[in-house]
Amino acid sequence: PLKIASLRFPSLPAIQGTVSASIFLIALVTNSSATMINLMISAECENVAKIGVEPGHTFFLRLRCTQCQEETANAVGVSREMNVEGIRGASVNLQIKCKGCGRSHDISFDADTPDGEWESSGPEAQRLASFECRGMDPFECEVRDGFVVIAPDGSKFEDVDLSDEWMDVDNKGNPVSISNVRTEFMSAKSGGKKKKK
């Protein structure tokens, strides 16, 4: 949509007579404005201090077009290491063309916000990643491998697959387990819940 704001100044004196000056400020706002969305994670844990991901982790998202509501049939992988030209010419992490309306949309990780992690001392659901979405919103995240788990004694487990119940032991021989992993998307601005898995 086109938004026009006008600023009108009072008549200004001149050497001969007076003149009226009007300044019109025009701002164009395109339909590709970004929506900030947080990916939240929660799980049932035993002897777990933190759950996170390594830099460059690939998230597998199912997406929905905000124009025609068409949904991707399969999850689409996106990571910070992916870089393509977006609909505005800037570098983005994913560009995708909607099969329903034919429009091109893009998604990027929030450059100002690093990936988060779940901590045992925090609330049930905690932010894992933040996405800047233009035209396509994620509504489901497929939980696969690539997670990093830290036990209270500092034991670190890498490339953990959380698509099913996971169990191991820490350096002291204590059992470590994660099950019933859930993801949901929430608006980064309003905190409103988007979609739960």
Q: What percent of the chain has pLDDT over 70?
A: 79
* pTM exceeds 0.75 for this model: yes
Query: String of b and e for 58-86 (b: at least 16 CB within 10 Å)?
Result: ebbbbbbbbeeebebeebbebbbebeeeb
Mean pLDDT of the chain: 83
Q: What percent of the chain has pLDDT over 90?
A: 70
Check residue 147 and give its pLDDT: 97
CA distance 87 to 132: 13
| Residue range 22-41: mean pLDDT, rounded | 60
Residue 49 — pLDDT band, cuts 50, 70, 90? Answer: very high
Residue 2 — pLDDT band, cuts 50, 70, 90? Answer: very low
